[in-house]
Amino acid sequence: MDEASLRVNNELDSEVMVSWMSEHCYQCLYQPLGAVPARPGPGKPSWRDFIVSTQHGLTLQVNDSHSQQLCTVPFHFEEHGNYSLWVKNLNNTTDCAVITDADPVNSFIPILVSFLVFAGLAIAFTIVKTILRLDAVKGVIFRLGGSMETERLINSELGSPDRTVDSVTDNILPPPPSPSKRLRSLDTFRGLSLVIMVFVNYGGGRYWFFRHESWNGLTVADLVFPWFVFIMGTSIALSFNSMLRAGSTRYSLLWKVVWRSVQLFVIGVIIINPNYCQGPLSWGSLRIPGVLQRLAWSYLVVACLDLLVARGRLDTLSMDAWWSRGYDILLYWPAWLCVLLLEVMWLCFTFLLPVPGCPTGYLGPGGIGDMGLYSNCTGGAAGFIDRLLLGRSHIYQTPSSRVIYATQVPYDPEGVLGSINSIVMAFLGLQAGKIILHYRDLHSSIISRFLTWGLMLGIISAILTKCSRDEGFIPVNKNLWSLSYVTTLACLAFVLLSVVYYTVDVKKWWSGAPFYYPGMNSILVYVGHEVFEEYFPFHWRMTNSQSHAEHLTQNLVATSIWVFISFVLYRKRIFWKI
434 in Cβ contact with 305 (< 8 Å): no
The amino acid occupying position 16 is: V
Phi, psi at 508, each rounded to 5°: 55, 35
- CA 220 to CA 211: how far, in whole Å? 7
Phi, psi at 96, each rounded to 5°: -125, 135
Distances (CA, A) of 415 to 118, 224, 294, 318, 565: 37, 18, 8, 44, 32
- CA 282 to CA 265: how far, in whole Å? 17
DSSP state of 270: I
Q: How many helices (H) and strands (E) does the chain have?
A: 17, 8
Distances (CA, A) of 562 to 118, 190, 522, 540, 567: 16, 15, 10, 16, 9
Q: What is the largest CA-CA distance in the chain?
A: 103
The amino acid occupying position 176 is: P
b/e burial code for range 190-222 (CB count within 10 A of at least 16 → b): bbbbbbbbbbbbbbbbbbbebbbbbbbbbbbbb
Q: What is the DSSP string of 320-366?
A: -STTGGGHHHHTTHHHHHHHHHHHHHHHHHHHHS--TTS-TT--S--
76 in Cβ contact with 57 (< 8 Å): yes
Active site includes 24? no
Closest by CA to 400, choosing from 47, 55, 78, is 55
Among residues 80, 212, 394, 529, the one annotated as catalytic is 212
- CA 236 to CA 232: how far, in whole Å? 6
Phi, psi at 477, each rounded to 5°: -150, 115
Residues designated catalytic: 212
